[in-house]
Every structure is written in structure tokens, then in C-alpha cells.
Amino acid sequence: MATEISFNGPFSDQAEEKSKAIKREHKQLFFYLAEVNEKAHQYRNLWRIGSRNVKALFAAALFHRALTAYQALIFNPKGIRLEARATRRNILEAKFKLAYLLNEPEAAVLLIALGEKKRADRLRNMKAGRLAVSEKLKGQDWDAVIKKAEEHLKGSVATLESNAVGCDN
């Protein structure tokens, strides 16, 4: 007896048939994506990234993030719809950041600084009690932790805010 999506969701026979139909209908696209995945692995193994090359390190991290997200989508084609949507968003964010990195010489530094600024803001919210804090973190010197998070921002806050407008990390 065939199972229906309404009763078994992505594990149903009906979902399996729809998945096969989509793969047949978009055969060329799936072939192309498989080829991109193969090439990505070939190039990934050629990289020798030094920790001092921030732009190359950031690009490699974004590339790896997009590659593993793509693999998650393909590996689990029956994935829950909302999870698949979040994973696709992850890939698109990596793509946009890679494009920004390509076109803006200071993009890696700005994106890292933006992340550190958000981290410092979260720490301030924890200190103020606006965010929950685990038991093992309570009672620490919040000012010292915040100061350490802000060390990476020295001299770049004005540049960060003027250049990263519209960049949502």
C-alpha cells in the first residue's frame, strides 16, 4: 500500500515519487550540480592557506560552508522543508559574502569586525540581563570579556559602520 505525503510526510512513497520526478525533469541541473561538487573537491584539496592571509582564509571558510550545505541538501533530498530552506539561505549568504570578498579588498576584515561587534553587543546584553546566561558563565568579569571582544575593533569601528551598511552577517 502506497503511503501519502499527508500521512508520512517526506518519508512517504508519494514524496519519493515526487523526488524522482523532479530529478528526471531537472536532470541537466542535477548533472551540473554534481559536476560543480566534484570540481569543488578537486580545488579544495589544492588550497594551502596560511593563517596570515585573512582574505584567503575567509574565502576558504565561506567556500567550505557553501560546499557542506550543498552536500547536506543533496544527501538528504527528503529533508524537512524548513531545514532545506535554511540550508539554501546559508549557501546564498556564503555566495554573497564571497562576491563581496572578491570586489572589496578589506571585506574579510570588515566582516570579521562586524562579527566581533555583534559578539560584544551580545556580551553587553548578557551582562545587562537581556539575554540568558548559562550557570558556568555567571559571575565572570563581564567588562574584561567585553574589552577582549572589542580589541579587534580598534580603529575600524567607523570604517566598519560606513562600509558594511546593509551587510547582515
- What confidence tens digit (pLDDT) does each residue in 111-154 have? 888 888 888 899 999 999 898 988 888 888 889 988 888 876 76
pLDDT score for 45: 67
Provide the grid cell at 162. Answer: 560606513
- Express each pLDDT in 67-121 by its tens digit: 888 888 777 655 566 677 788 888 888 888 888 988 987 888 888 888 888 888 9
Q: Which residues contact 149 (CB under 8 A, 6 or more apart)?
A: 116, 119, 120, 123
Query: How open is the CA angle 152-113-87, to the nearest 5 degrees?
Result: 135
Say if residues 130 and 63 touch (Cβ distance below 8 Å). Answer: no
- Express each pLDDT in 13-66 by its tens digit: 888 888 788 888 888 887 877 887 787 777 776 677 766 778 888 888 888 888
Domain boundaries, the chain: 8-103, 105-169
Number of Cβ atoms within 10 Å of the Cβ of 9:
14
| Amino acid identity, position 44 | R
Residue among 134, 24, 17, 111 at smallest CA distance from 59: 111
